[in-house]
Every structure is written in C-alpha cells, then in structure tokens.
Amino acid sequence: MGVFATTDAPASVGHEQVVFCQDKQSGLRAIIGIYSTALGPALGGTRFYPYASEEAALADVLDLSRGMAYKNALAGLDLGGGKAVIWGDPEQLKSETLLRAYGRFVATLGGRYYTACDVGTYVADMDVIARETRFVTGRSREHGGAGDSSILTAWGVFQGMRAAAEHAWGTSTLRGRRVGVAGLGKVGKHLVGHLLDDGAEVVATDVNPRALAWARTTHPQVTLLDDASALAASDIDVYAPCALGGTLNDHTVPALRATVVAGAANNQLAHPGIEKLLADRGILYAPDYVVNAGGVIQVADEIEGFNFDRAKLRATKIYDTTREILGLADAEGVPPAVAADRLAERRMAEVGRLRTVLLP
C-alpha cells in the first residue's frame, strides 16, 4: 500500500503525517498516524497488536487516526485526530525499554500528537512512556492522571445506546430489551453493568476464556455464547460490538436480527456501503465514533487537569449528540454514519478556518 495513495481523495480527506518508528534493540516497530490538526493537537491511543503484516498495521493506523479526528470533533474537543500502532504481541514484546523508545519517538513530534491507552496498552504503560515525553494522557492517578478511560467509554456508549433506543422505540431505557455485547474487555465489562442496572437482559461473548469466567462469576444472570457470529445472528434487540472493528460486514449484517447497533468498538463498518446496507434492512446504527467518545473525553480532560465529575458530565452529553445525529439523518434522508460525518467535517472546516487568522 502506498502511503500517499491513501490521500488521493477530496481536500477534506487525507492524513497530514505518517511516521514509521523503529528501535531494533528493543524490538519496537511502530507507526504514528496524524490525520488532522485542524482543531488542535492530534489525540488518540496506542494499539499494541500482532498484525499479520506491515500493510495490515498501516491500514489500521490510517483508519483509526481518521476515526479519532471525527470522534474528537463531534465530542466538542479542541483536538485533532491521531493514532499509533505498535506491531507485535504485547505479551512477548512489551518491555520498559520498548515503551520508553516509543515515548522518545512521540516526543520528536513536539506536541503534534498526544498518545493514550488502546488495545494492548494500559495505564501503567502510559506512565512508562511519560518518562520520555510529556505528550501522554490516560496516566495513573498516582501520577496525576485520570486512570482507566474505559469507565467513561462504557458510560458514553450506554448514553448513545439510550438515545438510539429512544429513537427506535420512543423510550430512553433499555429495560426489557435483550442486548448482545460482543467483547467483555475493558469497556464491555463496564457496559454490561450499566445495562443490567437499567433492567436490560444481556447476552455476551468473548474469545478470551478468562473474560467469560469473569462474567460467570460477576454477573451469573448474563447468558454467555462461545461464538461471536452466533451472537450477531441471535434474537436480540441491540447488538453492541465491543471488541475489534470490522464486525459489521457483508456476512454479518444480513444475519443481524437486532433493531439497533450501538457499541464501543472502533471502525465497526468493514467498508463504505455497510451503513446503507444497515439502513436498507431497517437497522438503526449509532455511529461508533460518536457513542464511544467517552474515553477520549476523559483523557482529553486530563490535559487541562483531570476532574472526573466534569469529564462524566461531558460524556453524558453523548446522549444529546447521538439524538442530534439520528434526527439529522432522518431529516436529510441519509444513514446516521453519513450525518455524523457531515457534522464532524463541518466543525473541522469552520473551526479549523479560524487558524488562518493570525494572532499578535
């Protein structure tokens, strides 16, 4: 895949900067993608994952960094979009040396990119990276950070799901609804708790046996399935993808029986056109980068001095943003994903334009 070939698109599309980072001694191979700094420094987490190839790692960081730009714009943050991936198995490669080497590469960008946690990286890792650069969020409370960002990510997903439920059924509660949660990781675990507290019936699955064991012990009332594809095709009202992206594809969407899709995973749509396939089947899709913005709201708040109550209040507003997008989609006769893109692009263009006004 040619990097510049990915920018052969309209002026509003295309990455500003893609940086390849390597430290052979520690085994570090990382890619940092900065999609846009129109609204401010790019913010997005670092994913540590054993990609099948360098091409797969590059494709993921390009998709994820673009998604972060749109997510940050719709969250009302004065931050652009970026993302990083470290190529490799974190259980085998992760070390203090590797993380500090990565931190030095982040530092070379001079504040154009702030990193945070993502799949395969945790708060403790951010504390190590911060020993080499100050452009890190999602740090531990011991170091003045916010701690686990999955808490407000799950809260925001729940708010987006409530808004979608209101749009679909006229009520903002999930009480009596059957919700399928695909993925019981950092976010999925918290989301299950919110759903049960709201009176929903939960069906869940995960590829990790430890996650399933946690669910059996913590929430024995949750129905567990071994097969993720079986969950998508089961008799559920809401499908909540909360693991890796791309699960809404040409095979899973025709089999979906849910009325609403709202989950925490990034880049849930496998390719352009899936949003129309969902709409044609009468399935209401709450765009992932809208409803899962609670985590980035939390780590962004950390930059100005973290206050949990303030961050939670901002994450709660995901309910209002989701309602606005679903209403706009109906008014303009487009899928919600298209309506969300339009709102994000409008804010990036209008606020980004102000940067052309030179200050004294």
158 and 125 Cβ atoms separated by less than 8 Å:
no
170 is in an annotated binding site: no
180 is in an annotated binding site: no
206 and 183 Cβ atoms separated by less than 8 Å:
yes
Residue with tokens 């669910």: 215
Q: Point out which residues pair with 181 in neighbouring strands.
A: 204, 240
Residues known to be catalytic = 83
112 and 42 Cβ atoms separated by less than 8 Å:
yes
User: How far is the C-alpha of 257 from the C-alpha of 328, rounded, in Å?
Assistant: 25
Q: Identify the DSSP state of 52.
A: S
185 is in an annotated binding site: yes
Side-chain-side CA neighbours of 350 within 13 Å: the count stands at 9
88 is in an annotated binding site: no
Type and span of the H or E element at 331: helix 318-332
DSSP 102-130: HHHHHHHTTTSEEB---TT--HHHHHHHT
312 is in an annotated binding site: no
Which residues 6+ apart lie within 8 Å of 327 measured at CB?
Answer: 167
User: How far is the C-alpha of 166 from the C-alpha of 198, rounded, in Å?
Assistant: 14
246 and 268 Cβ atoms separated by less than 8 Å:
yes
Which residues 6+ apart lie within 8 Å of 250 measured at CB?
Answer: 270, 274, 277
CA angle 187, 60, 241 (to 5 degrees): 30
253 is in an annotated binding site: no
Annotated binding site: 183-188
| Binding residue positions for NAD(+) | 183-188
